């Protein structure tokens, strides 16, 4: 109506009423699908400046600089050549990413300086080495093997979303109690209590990017259907139209809803990972949708075994189809009935 309606006399508003000959459109079932379709259309139609048209705000990430002889962590929204470093995210804001990284590194002794180190025993060190919060490779306060082992502990912490350190401290606490070292056990218990809130507040979406796999479920424009958007290593694909009505095969065994969803996803395998820029753009779209206050649809992340939680996904399909609240917003209850 704004562009094609009858314009008022002496109006300076843009009108295309006498220029447009036809309109191409695609029906969508959700805001997420509309936004993703707009991104793909602009990227295909305006390859030179689609980024300016979309105004994508890249997601903040925690980056592990593994190509450095003495690895460190930093916050970035840019992804370099994949395989040279590890990235964890996305976070809702840079401030949130910085706070999480700083609080997490307090439990380790990996360096926080940004300089390229040339270890020199005469170097005075920094405040972190004075506070025994860094192994101080700058003045050879540790061997390269000791520093590498500490870096691997930090990697495991980020990769397991803090679970590796929780298990490590819990094991040390139990051993100290068994050896009647109660003061050490109390100190480890206090350390564990400090760690638990940090791990608990970590958004569920934050993963190492090569392990950011999942499935988004949205309303569909097709009747009796939902739209599925697979996520493979942070890259979104779809939509896959999934009908909740299953055909009854005479004399045959009716497949379960879980089997049907798994089969539908197998028919649409993820494409190639693509460029680092494309990954940044998909993470921006994912972050914008996930952290919005009025988010519609549901998302489920792959488990440690890299398998999708199909039973929970079936319940999510039912809720999205019925327009009910997401699982994370619902009070604890028994399993929801499957779709008829």
Alpha-carbon gap, residue 57 to 59, rounded angstroms: 6
CA 99, 231, 215, 163 torsion: positive or negative?
A: negative
| Residue 334: pLDDT over 70 | no
What is the dihedral angle through the alpha carbons of 109, 113, 115, 118, rounded to the nearest 10 degrees? -30
**What residues form DSSP beta bridges with 252?**
none
Nearest residue to 106 (alpha-carbon basis) of 78, 132, 76, 69: 132
Which has the closest alpha carbon to 286: 133, 60, 121, 127? Answer: 60
Q: How confident is the model at residue 340 (pLDDT cuts 50, 70, 90)?
A: very low
Q: Phi and psi at residue 18, in whole multiples of 5°? A: -100, 10
* φ, ψ of residue 191 in degrees (nearest 5): -65, -40
Global pTM value: 0.84
CB-neighbour burial class of residue 88 (10 A; exposed 0-12, middle 13-18, buried 19+): buried
Give the pLDDT mean for 192-220. 92
In the predicted structure, residue 300 carries a pLDDT above the cut 50: yes
CA gap 49, 285 in Å, rounded: 17
Q: What is the pLDDT of residue 114?
A: 86
pLDDT digits (tens, 9 = 90+) for 120-168: 788 877 888 888 888 888 888 888 899 999 999 999 999 999 899 999 9
Q: What is the pLDDT of residues 76-135, one digit of tens each?
A: 999 987 677 899 999 999 999 999 999 999 999 898 888 888 887 888 778 888 888 888
**What pLDDT band is residue 1 in, cutting at 50, 70 and 90?**
confident
Contact of 212 with 234, CB cutoff 8 Å: yes
| Domain residue extents for the chain | 61-116+126-200, 212-325
Candidates 108, 128, 107; CA nearest to 195 is: 107
Give the pLDDT confidence of 236-288 residue by residue, as tens digits.
998 999 988 876 656 667 788 888 899 889 988 887 777 888 999 999 999 99
| Percent of the chain clearing pLDDT 90 (strictly above) | 48
pLDDT of residue 281: 93
Quote the CA–CA distance of 138 and 319 in Å, as a whole number: 55
- What is the predicted pLDDT for the residue at 335? 37
Identify whether the C-beta of residue 61 lies closer than 8 Å to the C-beta of residue 91.
yes
Neighbouring C-beta atoms of residue 276, cutoff 10 Å: 14
Sequence-distant (6+) residues with CB within 8 A of 25 are none
CA dist 214 and 309 (Å) reads: 9
Report yes or no: 234 and 286 within 8 Å, Cβ to Cβ: yes
Residue 293, pLDDT above cutoff 80:
yes
Contacts of 147 (CB under 8 A, 6+ apart): 70, 110, 135, 137
Find out whether the peptide bond into 152 is cis, omega within 30 degrees of 0: no
Report which of residues 98 and 1 the model is more confident about: 98
Is the four-CA dihedral 55, 61, 65, 71 of positive or negative sign? positive
- pLDDT value, residue 155: 92
How much is the pLDDT for 331?
Answer: 39
The mean pLDDT value of the chain amounts to 86
Mean pLDDT within 187-200: 91
């Amino acid at each position: 109506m704004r562009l094609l309606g009858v314009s008022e006399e002496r109006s300076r508003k843009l009108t295309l009423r006498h220029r447009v000959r036809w309109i191409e459109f695609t029906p969508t079932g959700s805001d997420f699908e509309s936004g993703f379709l707009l991104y793909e259309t602009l990227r295909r139609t305006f390859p030179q400046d689609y980024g300016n048209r979309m105004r994508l705000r890249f997601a903040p990430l925690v980056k592990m600089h593994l190509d450095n002889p003495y690895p460190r962590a930093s916050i970035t929204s840019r992804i370099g050549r994949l395989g040279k470093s590890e990235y964890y995210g996305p976070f809702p804001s840079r401030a949130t990413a910085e706070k999480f990284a700083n609080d997490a590194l307090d439990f380790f002794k990996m360096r926080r300086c940004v300089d390229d180190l040339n270890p020199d025993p005469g170097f005075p060190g920094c405040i972190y080495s004075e506070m025994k919060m860094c192994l101080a490779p700058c003045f050879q306060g540790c061997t390269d093997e000791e520093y590498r082992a500490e870096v691997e502990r930090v990697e495991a912490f980020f990769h397991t979303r803090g679970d590796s350190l929780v298990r490590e401290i819990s094991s040390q606490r139990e051993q100290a109690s068994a050896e009647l070292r109660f003061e050490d056990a109390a100190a480890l218990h206090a350390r564990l209590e400090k760690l638990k809130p940090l791990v608990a507040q970590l958004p569920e979406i934050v993963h190492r990017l090569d392990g950011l796999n999942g499935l988004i479920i949205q309303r569909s424009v097709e009747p009796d259907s939902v739209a599925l958007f697979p996520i493979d290593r942070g890259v979104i694909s779809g939509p896959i139209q999934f009908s909740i009505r299953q055909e009854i095969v005479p004399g045959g065994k009716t497949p379960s809803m879980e089997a049907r969803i798994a089969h539908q996803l197998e028919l649409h395998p993820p494409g190639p990972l693509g460029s680092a820029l494309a990954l940044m753009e998909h993470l921006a779209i994912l972050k914008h949708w996930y952290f919005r206050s009025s988010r519609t649809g549901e998302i489920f992340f792959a488990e440690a075994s890299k398998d999708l939680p199909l039973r929970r996904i079936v319940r999510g399909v039912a809720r999205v189809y019925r327009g009910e609240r997401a699982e994370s917003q619902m009070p604890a209850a028994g399993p929801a009935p499957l779709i008829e």
